[in-house]
Amino acid sequence: MAIFIVLLGPPGVGKGTQAKILAQAKNLAHISSGDLFRENIKNQTELGKHAKLFIDKGELVPDDVTIDMIRERLSRPDCKPGAILDGFPRTPVQADALEKMLAEFNGQVNVVPYITAPESIVVGRISGRWTCRSNGHIFHQMFNPPKADGICDIDGSELYQREDDKVETVTIRIRVYLEQTIPLVDYYRKTGKLVEINGAQAVEQVSRDLCLAVNN
């Protein structure tokens, strides 16, 4: 049976980094709603143009658009064994939709690691973050600097600072997270699937804790 893991946590806590590591370790697809939107923005699709209006302001893209995008992604063959969901769901409406979609694919949400860290840490992580233009690889000017300034170690493409990683927008994203996504903590706690992970630790330690959480 397919395994679906939902990573919850504030922006900048390291969900993207951890999702990539975990997806490789468990041989599961990595579905990042933010990466999917950014890919659409880069390719100037209608979806991308619409999503950009919200993303640049730090707001959430409307539920219906987001849910349709994820449904399409989940239907691709690489999701057959399951997937790590990073950044989706972000609202209770999305969480209900996910349950229904997974039932269609004969699956369910198995475990929900909830990665937490104090606000000062997540703001520091976001404001030093550099993202690779081609494949979304993530670097940090202090904690994980690229070997050459402005160039991705992995694929050689340009590194850029996301528009929504600028300090003014980060404050809005954190407020939106507290208002719209925090209710999911209770939603999943009630199902008994929530496991809290201390995201303030070093990347390797968070990975170890996460592996333990999903293997139990």
CB of 93 to ligand AMP, least distance (A): 10
Q: Please give the residues from 89 up to 148 whose contact with ligand AMP meets the rule CB under 6 A.
A: 90, 94
CA dihedral sign of residues 84, 89, 95, 97: negative
Task: Closer to ligand AMP by CB, 148 or 186: give it.
Answer: 186
Q: Which residues contact 204 (CB under 8 A, 6 or more apart)?
A: none
Can you say whether residue 71 is alpha, beta or left, with left for phi > 0 and alpha for psi between -120 and 50 degrees?
alpha
Count residues near ligand AMP (CB under 6 A). Answer: 17
Active-site pick, 38, 90, 125, 190: 90
Q: Which residues contact 17 (CB under 8 A, 6 or more apart)?
A: 138, 203
CA dist., res. 139 & res. 155, Å (int):
13
CA dist., res. 78 & res. 100, Å (int):
19
CB of 214 to ligand AMP, least distance (A): 20
CA dist., res. 30 & res. 64, Å (int):
21
Task: Closer to ligand AMP by CB, 75 or 208: give it.
Answer: 75
Query: 173 an active-site residue?
Result: yes
The two tokens of residue 211 are 């592996």
CB of 167 to ligand AMP, least distance (A): 14
Of 4, 88, 139, 188, which lies in the binding site for ligand AMP, with binding defined by CB under 6 A? Answer: 88
Query: 129 an active-site residue?
Result: yes
Of 37, 139, 187, 188, which lies in the binding site for ligand AMP, with binding defined by CB under 6 A? Answer: 37
Stretch of residues binding ligand AMP (CB under 6 A), selected from 39-47, 75-83, 84-92, 100-108: 84-92
Of 9, 10, 14, 34, which lies in the binding site for ligand AMP, with binding defined by CB under 6 A? Answer: 34
Query: 189 an active-site residue?
Result: no
Query: 71 an active-site residue?
Result: no
Query: 208 an active-site residue?
Result: no
The two tokens of residue 194 are 């929530």
Q: Please give the residues from 171 up to 190 whose contact with ligand AMP meets the rule CB under 6 A.
A: 173
Rounded to 10°, the helix 33-42/46-55 angle is 120
Q: Which residues are catalytic?
A: 15, 90, 129, 162, 173
